[in-house]
Amino acid sequence: MPIIFSNVGILMYFFELGTQYDMAKMSYTKLKDGAPGWLKNSDAELSSKRVSPNEIIYNCMVFLSAAGVISKILFAGKRSHKKIKSRCENLRKLMGIGELPILNNLSVRNSFEHIDERFDDIFSDLKAKKITPLNVIEDSTSADELILKRFDPKELSISFSKHSLSLEDCMVEIIQVESKIRPALAQIENYGLKKFELWAPYPVVEV
């Protein structure tokens, strides 16, 4: 489909959503494929194929980054600029997207993005006796140990300190977003040469 110049901005948002979906899917697949080797009951063959904790966290961060971009495109969060709020609201309306509570929150992503501030909070009032910077483990029940970054291979979740995120549940929401791109593109195509007012302060007109 040729890009209609008057609506090129909207199409670039759709393109970016598709790109971030691909990144999230690739990193999620790698994490899902690598998780069995870290399970408590994994056999010798699976354990021998373990990828390193650093590689796991790398893919977690790629996933969180992609999810974060999708989140910022669709949800204004605490940002108060009218143009941002209008764009987020109108894109969701155009795509037929309702509530996506995980993408709208992503506290773990925020923890990774503002790690210095989290360290300020954690280490200025530290009560744990032991600190583990990074671990791949199914559970973390020790009251006297703080694992800063943890990937749970059983639950497919990532944690930063007390914040936790199910990558599986987040991926479900990302798939929902991706499924809405093509129908929204069709609406824009049917809109013809008219400009779709994505940044208007009022709700978009149904097309």
- For the chain, 207 residues long, the average pLDDT of each consecutive 10-residue run is 69 94 97 91 81 92 93 86 89 91 83 80 80 85 80 92 89 97 86 72 51
Residue 151: φ, ψ to 5°: -110, 125
Residue written as token pair 């040729």: 2
3-class secondary-structure state, position 3: coil
* pTM beyond 0.95: no
- Is residue 162 one of the residues assigned to a domain? no
Map residue 189 onto helix, strand or coil: helix
In a domain, 125, yes or no: no
User: Does 63 reside within a domain?
Assistant: yes
For residue 54, is it within any domain? yes
Query: Is residue 143 one of the residues assigned to a domain?
Result: no
Name the nearest CA neighbour of 109 among 100, 118, 122. 118
* pLDDT of 207: 46
Alpha-carbon gap, residue 48 to 43, rounded angstroms: 9
Domain membership of residue 158 (yes or no) is: no
Q: Tell me, what DSSP letter sits at residue 128?
A: -
Strands 145-152 and 130-136: parallel
In a domain? residue 172: yes
Query: Scanning the structure block, which residue is given the tokens 């609201």?
Result: 89
The pLDDT value given to residue 202: 52
Q: How many domains does the chain have?
A: 1
**Cβ(63)–Cβ(175) under 8 Å?**
no
The vertex-67 CA angle with 180 and 165, nearest 5°, equals 115
Q: Residue 144 class from Cβ within 10 Å (0-12 exposed, 13-18 middle, 19+ buried)?
A: exposed
Query: Which residue matches tokens 């994994």?
Result: 42
In a domain, 145, yes or no: no
